[in-house]
Amino acid sequence: MGMTFWYIWIIIAILLFIVEIFVPTFLAACIAIGCVIAGITSYFDFGIKFQLIAFSFGTLLSFIGVRPFMLKYLYKNSVKIKTNVEALIGKIGRVSVTIDNSQNVGRIIVEGDDWKAESENNEIINIGEKVEILKINSTILIVKLITKN
């Protein structure tokens, strides 16, 4: 059973490494490392009990030793990347509907998308004015008028 079982461990490891590409937390990769070690023990015809011990030991060692290193050095830049609506902060938009917080109206166009907007300090900002996005409150962009030079 040992010589014919090693490839199953390796297939599982490969699948887990593929999962790691799409979910970069280095959890699936740690389990995959355990599968590779179990596959090696299976290749050398050790029994299933020893394979499971090798799998457990390899997974545990990779969680303790390899995962912290990988998270610190390989995934450190991924935290700084702004995505989705947070990527709009700091962008410039143009007012498409006059922004008046007291009337609860106002819209801006940013990168081709139309967003509801409010002014930062309750000032009225007219159609066509350029604004900078300061923050996001749910789906409403909080903006300030870019002063004309």
Query: If 0-12 CB within 10 Å is exposed, 13-18 middle and 19+ buried, where does residue 78 land?
Result: exposed
Asked if 132 contacts 141 with a C-beta cutoff of 8 angstroms, the reply is no
User: Does 58 share its domain with 122?
Assistant: no
User: Does 51 share its domain with 114?
Assistant: no
Q: What residues form DSSP beta bridges with 110?
A: 113
User: Does 45 share its domain with 6?
Assistant: yes
- pLDDT at position 2: 44
The Cβ-side half-sphere exposure at 27, using a 13 Å CA radius, reads 3
Say which DSSP state 88 is in.
G
Say which DSSP state 100 is in.
E
Name the token pair of 119: 């002014």
User: Does 75 share its domain with 6?
Assistant: yes
User: Does 107 share its domain with 66?
Assistant: no
Choosing from 79, 110, 134, the residue where a domain stops is 79
- Written as tens digits, the pLDDT of the chain (149 aa) is 445 688 999 999 999 999 988 887 788 999 999 999 999 999 998 999 999 999 999 999 998 988 787 777 766 555 555 656 778 889 999 999 999 999 999 999 998 899 999 999 999 999 999 999 999 988 899 999 997 64
User: Does 124 share its domain with 97?
Assistant: yes
Query: If 0-12 CB within 10 Å is exposed, 13-18 middle and 19+ buried, where does residue 26 land?
Result: buried
User: Does 32 share its domain with 71?
Assistant: yes
pTM to 2 decimal places = 0.49
- Rounded to the nearest angstrom, the gap between the alpha carbon of residue 37 and the centroid of all alpha carbons in its chain is 29
Choosing from 79, 99, 115, the residue where a domain stops is 79
Choosing from 55, 79, 103, the residue where a domain stops is 79
User: Does 67 share its domain with 120?
Assistant: no
Write out the residue range of the structural domain in which residue 49 sits.
Answer: 2-79
User: Does 32 share its domain with 50?
Assistant: yes
Helices (H) and strands (E) counted in the chain, each on its own, are 4, 5
Which residue has 């166009």 as its token pair? 109
Domain total of the chain: 2
The CATH code of the domain that includes 128 is 2.40.50.140
Name the token pair of 45: 């015809």
Calculate the alpha carbon distances from 52 to 12, 58, 93 in Å.
14, 10, 58
